[in-house]
Amino acid sequence: MWNNITSCSLWRLSPSFMSSRIQTLTPLFIRHYKDFCKNRQTIWTLRNSLCQVLKKTVPTLTCNMFPHCFVSNKARYGQYKKTFPVLDGSIPSVCEHVFEENLRNSEACIQSFVFEIRYSELLCKVSKGGGESAILRHTQRNKKLLVRERLRMLLDDETFLELSPFAGFDLPYGDVPAAGCLTGIGKICGVWCVFVANDATVKGGTAYPISVKKQLRAQQIAIQNRLLSIYLVDSGGAFLPLQAELFPDQSHGGRVFYNEAIMSAMKIPQVAVVCGSCTAGGAYVPTVAEETVIVDKIGSMFLAGPPLVKAATGEDISPEDLGGASMHSKVSGCVDHFASSEKEAYECVRNIVLTLNYELPPEETLEYDDPLYSAEELLGLAPRGYSYTLHIKLILSRLIDGSRFQEFKAEYGTTLVTGFAHMEGHLVGIVANNGQLTHDASLKGSHFVQLCSQRSIPILFLQNTAPHAPEPTSLSQCGRSFDPNFLFLWPNARVALVDSRHISTFPQARDDDCTGDDSELKHLKEKLDEESSAFHSSARLWDDGIILPQNSRKVIAQCLTIMKQQKYQIASLQHYPVIRL
Ligand code: COA
């Protein structure tokens, strides 16, 4: 899913152009603004007048150049959304056996997979971080809160979209089932924020290659959606046995600090809490952040800890004196707020958020209708394979408000379904595969995407692209390459260039030694099956997580709300980061 923000905004015209026109516009604006205060209807007159002026002065401009949020009267406009045609989502009786097959497959995908662990059990396992003894060390000996308790203290409510919880769960890092850092999106003082929180129960919160990837993905989401970022730092820096895979390359650890500077220059605020022992890379994150809080006794920051100082200089020094809360808040100035407890630190963060000068709209409760058909039935519609795909409108009718869909080019290129709908009150453009992508379907898709872009409407892609047997599909069909704001998989999803059932037809699948060898082909097929599973993809962060079909509507609507927030950020003209001296 991605959001095409229109480039046609009034305020992106060059300043010299605007200054010559602004004198013409200002009296007109003031006159109509006064009227507007008396009668909100006048805003439409204002819009039309402004358009007329601009049309005369610059022939290339059109009315569409005005940001829609500026001129619309949402409440009045929104009442018409109930007029979109209703989809017939009833499952034809001839398709019932396909529905049943899909249902069995979905349940099997959720109940068990390669490691014989159930989806819910895996969620529970990854949420326990480094295991019982590490949790005891963290809470009893080190007197720290667990990462999820920290988030609970910070967040407004339970609403939290955890990103890629399965990242790294099957990677060969010994008995560690999680990436050692939790990322997600939740609200502080009404503001959606991205959280990057180290889990020190997993090898002291040190960074594995997958943890770095997870942090970078969280930052990318923050950048794309202009979300305030909160770092809860409790990390021993790099996981040293894997150091060569961690720091030297472009998308390795250093990129996290680079991104912090870039984000600051983009006016994306970043706040850090030092809530544990932070060494080397673990110390850079809070030092580069715009504003930092440290917790007394449990927070410390240094390039190298006391044992290394002793080895290098022979000096005996305590962690507190080397880089504790008092030292950094009173002497080095590396942190900005001293908190005597974790609770106080998170209260301080909430207060910092109140200084960010966000102008959020009044809490609006969007009115919407539920779909007419049960979301539970999506389990029977999530296709088991390409021969088990039912019409995509059956899925749509279980996702969108009132099952109402304003279809675009319904009769043309029918293997791609395009159109507009609402998702918990949010207008969204939908591009959904309904068979093999044909030439006509592609033309229709590109036309529709441009419409959405022109109208600043986010797009929801429902992707189900069949491999073109017997040739491998093109790499360009993979989702991540297109930088969607969010990308989720259903448990039944398979991500691969080829369908394992066609493997025997590929000459390139056989090397010289195994030509004609069935066991080699069997092995290749098994490997392909395993590597194309949704869980394999999610463990490697090729997506933002696996969601259950029946929860999709909620997750999509949440993403749409999150993406909308950037509309309310106060713009500033300066383009340099906050530099801590
Ligand atoms: N690389 C690899 N493993 C590390 C590590 C590192 N940088 N830092 C800690 N670990 C491992 C420990 O070996 C231990 O593993 P185990 O659970 O299998 O025994 C686990 O993380 C917890 O470490 P421990 O020292 O027992 O816990 P702690 O809570 O007392 O202290 C740290 C945690 C991070 C403060 C401490 O381990 C430390 O200072 N580590 C060194 C940090 C460092 O020098 N980093 C430099 C990176 S460039």
CA angle 432, 434, 436 (to 5 degrees): 115
- Cα dihedral 91, 99, 417, 547 sign: positive
Highest average pLDDT, of 35-39, 248-252, 442-446, 566-570, comes from: 442-446
192-208 burial, b at 16+ Cβ within 10 Å, e below that, comes to bbbbbbbbbbbbbbbbb
CB 418 within 8 A of CB 448: yes
Q: What is the mean pLDDT of residues 395-404?
A: 98
| Residue of the CA atom closest to atom 20 of ligand 1 | 203
263 contacts 236 by C-beta, under 8 angstroms: no
State yes or no: pLDDT of 118 exceeds 50.
Answer: yes
Q: Does the Cβ of 246 fall within 6 Å of ligand 1?
A: no
Alpha carbon nearest to ligand 1 atom 23, residue: 204
Tens of pLDDT, residues 244-281 = 999 889 999 999 999 999 999 999 999 999 999 999 99
DSSP state of 172: S
Report how far ligand 1's centroid is from the alpha carbon of 204 (Å). 5
Least confident window among 24-38, 70-84, 558-572: 24-38
Ligand 1 midpoint to CA 257 (Å)? 21
Q: Which of 99-108, 116-125, 175-184, 229-238 has the lowest mean pLDDT?
A: 116-125
Among protein residues, the one with the nearest Cα to ligand 1's atom 13 is: 203
| Predicted local distance difference test score (pLDDT) of residue 2 | 32
Expressed in angstroms and rounded, the spacing between residue 241 Cα and the centre of ligand 1 is 11
Stretch (H or E) spanning 107: helix 96-111
> What is the pLDDT, as a whole number, of residue 576?
83
Mean pLDDT, the chain, rounded, equals: 83
Question: Token match 């993979």: residue?
Answer: 478
Q: Quick: pLDDT tens for 480-538.
A: 788 999 999 999 998 887 777 776 666 555 555 555 577 888 888 888 888 888 989 99
pLDDT of residue 518: 79
Q: Which atom from ligand 1 is nearest to the alpha carbon of 203? A: 21
Please report which helix (H) or strand (E) contains residue 232, including its range: strand 228-233
503, 511, 428, 444: which is closest to 470 by C-alpha? 503
240 within ligand 1 shell (Cβ under 6 A) = yes
Does residue 42 carry a pLDDT above 60?
A: no
Q: Is 20 exposed, middle or buried (0-12, 13-18, 19+ CB in 10 A)?
A: exposed
pLDDT at 551 (0 to 100): 96
At residue 495, the pLDDT reads 86
Query: Residue 453's pLDDT is what?
Result: 95
What six digits make up the tokens of 75?
């409440």
- Asked whether residue 29 carries a pLDDT value surpassing 70, the answer given is no
Rounded distance between C-alpha atoms, residue 565 and residue 348, angstroms: 23
The pLDDT score that the predictor gives to residue 247 is 87
For range 434-457, the mean pLDDT: 95
Residue of the CA atom closest to atom 11 of ligand 1: 203
Mean pLDDT of 533-551: 93
Residue 515 pLDDT = 54
pTM above 0.75? Answer: yes
Q: Which atom of ligand 1 has the smallest separation from the CA of 174?
A: 18
How many A from CA of 320 to the centre of ligand 1? 17
Mutate to test the pocket of ligand 1, among 142, 173, 206, 310 (most ligand atoms within 8 A of CB): 206
pLDDT given for residue 539 in this prediction: 92
Q: Which atom of ligand 1 is nearest to the CA of 308?
A: 44
The highest-confidence range among 94-108, 117-131, 271-285, 499-513, by mean pLDDT, is 271-285
Report which residue type is found at 411.
E
- 13-22, 306-315, 525-534: lowest mean pLDDT where? 13-22
Q: Compute, in angstroms, the gap from residue 335 CA to the centroid of ligand 1.
A: 23
- Nearest CA, atom 12, ligand 1: 203
Pocket test for ligand 1, best of 138, 203, 247 (most atoms within 8 A of CB): 203
pLDDT of 59 > 50? The answer is no
Residue (of 310, 309, 258, 253) closest to 282 by Cα position: 253
The tokens for 502 are 């066609």
- Please, which pLDDT band fits residue 394 given cuts at 50, 70 and 90? very high
Q: Among positive and negative, which fits the CA dihedral 61, 63, 65, 71?
A: positive
Distance (Å, whole) CA 487 – CA 553: 14
- Token pair 């106060």 in the structure block, residue: 570
Angle between helices 147-154 and 342-354 (to 10 degrees): 40
Yes or no: say if 256 and 250 are a contact pair by the CB < 8 Å rule.
no
454 lines ligand 1 (CB under 6 A): no
